């Protein structure tokens, strides 16, 4: 059954939630109520214990065109005289973090252009699949702005600081095939296979025990913090938690019994 959160659609397909940015008339730009609606939809996926993976995509021919520039300009003009820090609306942080900090793996099905903040929203997902029509661009500099939605944090971690600097400073468009070569997306698949491929990957993940996946997600995100000893400590602490779960014991028993495990999420 599909649920509508304003400008965002939410649908649960067994153990996978599909979250769709649904503002196609504005190329799914992050304006109107879309930011708050996305936070609400991601929270619904988080709170639903049956959901073990999330697919994020856009309605129509665009994944997300970025910020709604008309709305941003109107907001800046109305904010004339306010302190500088108050001119950027705090919903931006909440929207990005709702994707990045989701406790369940997020697969972005990038069905078309992902520009500016839209590119960074895709980068906040754990895994990205793209259609051949997908194009990515750090377009902020072209508008006299600098990256937001954590672009300066996410992009260097995927492509390295030098390549990130190039993409940010030039604002050039990256086509789908180059995005795959650079590591911005995991794979490019034919447009008609994009959602089936994203759902198949989500279901593969969903078959695994949810707690180790959740803990592994956090460990991967923290991999650049500290050195190898800190990484070992995080892994050991998380593994000890897994050993004390029903799923941990079930996985080991199933291996010994030479059968498929049945994970229950405990």
- Under the banding of pLDDT at 50, 70 and 90, the label for residue 116 is very high
Per the model's pLDDT, the better-predicted residue between 101 and 146 turns out to be: 101
Q: What pTM, to 2 d.p., does this model score?
A: 0.88
Mean pLDDT for the chain overall: 89
DSSP 135-168: EEE-GGGGGT----TTHHHHHHHHH-HHHHHHHH
Instruction: Note the pLDDT of residue 132.
Output: 98
Stretch among 38-52, 62-76, 121-135 having the lowest mean pLDDT: 62-76
Q: Provide the pLDDT confidence category of residue 88 given band limits of 50, 70 and 90.
A: low
* Per-residue confidence (pLDDT) for residue 83, from 0 to 100: 53
Over range 227-254, report the average pLDDT.
Answer: 76
User: pLDDT value at position 225?
Assistant: 77
- Torsion, Cα of 220, 222, 225, 227 (10° steps): -50
- SS3 sequence, 49-86? CCCCEEEEEECCCCCECCECHHHHHHHHHHCCCCCHHH
Distance CA 65, CA 118 (A): 6
Tens digits of residue pLDDT in 136-190:
999 988 887 888 888 998 999 999 999 999 999 999 999 999 999 999 999 999 9
pLDDT band per the 50, 70, 90 thresholds, residue 84:
very low
- DSSP 3-state assignment of 208? coil
| First-last CA distance in the chain | 26
Q: What distance in Å separates the CA atoms of residue 124 and residue 54, rounded to the nearest whole number?
A: 13
Give SS3 for 130.
strand
Is the Cβ–Cβ distance between 136 and 114 less than 8 Å? yes
Q: What are residue 150's DSSP bridge partners?
A: none
Residue ranges covered by each domain of the chain: 2-206, 210-257
Q: What's the pLDDT tens digit per position in 209-229?
A: 999 999 999 999 988 877 657
User: Nearest-5° angle of CA 188, CA 189, CA 195?
Assistant: 115
Number of residues that make up the chain: 266
Decide if 6 contacts 33 (C-beta within 8 A). yes
Report the pLDDT averaged over residues 6-14.
Answer: 97
pLDDT of 26-40, one tens digit each?
999 998 899 999 999
Say whether domain 2-206 belongs to CATH 3.40.50.2000.
no
pLDDT for 51 equals: 97
**pLDDT above 90: residue 200:** yes
Per DSSP, which regions of the chain are E strands?
A: 2-5, 8-13, 16-21, 53-58, 106-110, 114-115, 127-130, 135-137, 173-175, 187-188
Which class is domain 210-257? Answer: mainly alpha
pLDDT band at 236 (very low <50, low <70, confident <90, very high): confident
pLDDT of residue 15: 96
Task: Provide mean pLDDT across the span 55-66.
Answer: 97
| Interval 107-111 mean pLDDT | 98
Contact 136, 119 (CB under 8 A): yes
């Amino acid at each position: 059954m599909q649920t509508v959160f304003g400008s965002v659609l939410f649908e649960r397909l067994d153990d996978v939630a599909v979250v769709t940015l649904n503002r196609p008339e504005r190329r799914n730009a992050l304006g109107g109520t879309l930011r708050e609606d996305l936070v609400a939809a991601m929270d619904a996926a988080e709170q639903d214990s049956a959901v073990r993976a999330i697919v994020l995509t856009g309605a129509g021919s665009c994944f997300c065109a970025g910020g709604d520039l008309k709305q941003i300009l109107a907001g800046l003009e109305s904010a004339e005289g306010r302190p500088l820090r108050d001119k950027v609306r705090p919903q931006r942080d909440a929207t990005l973090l709702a994707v990045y900090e989701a406790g369940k793996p997020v697969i972005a099905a990038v069905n078309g252009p992902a520009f500016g903040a839209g590119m960074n929203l895709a980068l906040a997902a754990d895994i990205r699949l793209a259609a051949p029509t997908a194009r990515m661009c750090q377009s902020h500099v072209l508008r006299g702005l600098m990256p937001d939605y954590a672009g300066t944090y996410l992009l260097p971690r995927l492509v390295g600081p030098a390549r990130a600097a190039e993409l940010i400073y030039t604002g050039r468009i990256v086509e789908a095939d180059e995005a795959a070569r650079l590591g911005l997306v995991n794979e490019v698949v034919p447009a008609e296979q994009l959602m089936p491929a994203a759902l198949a990957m989500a279901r593969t993940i969903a078959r695994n025990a949810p707690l180790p996946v959740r803990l592994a997600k956090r460990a991967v995100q923290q991999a650049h913090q500290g050195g190898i000893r800190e990484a070992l400590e995080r892994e050991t602490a998380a593994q000890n938690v897994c050993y004390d779960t029903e799923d941990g014991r079930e996985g080991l028993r199933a291996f010994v019994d030479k059968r498929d495990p049945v994970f229950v999420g405990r």
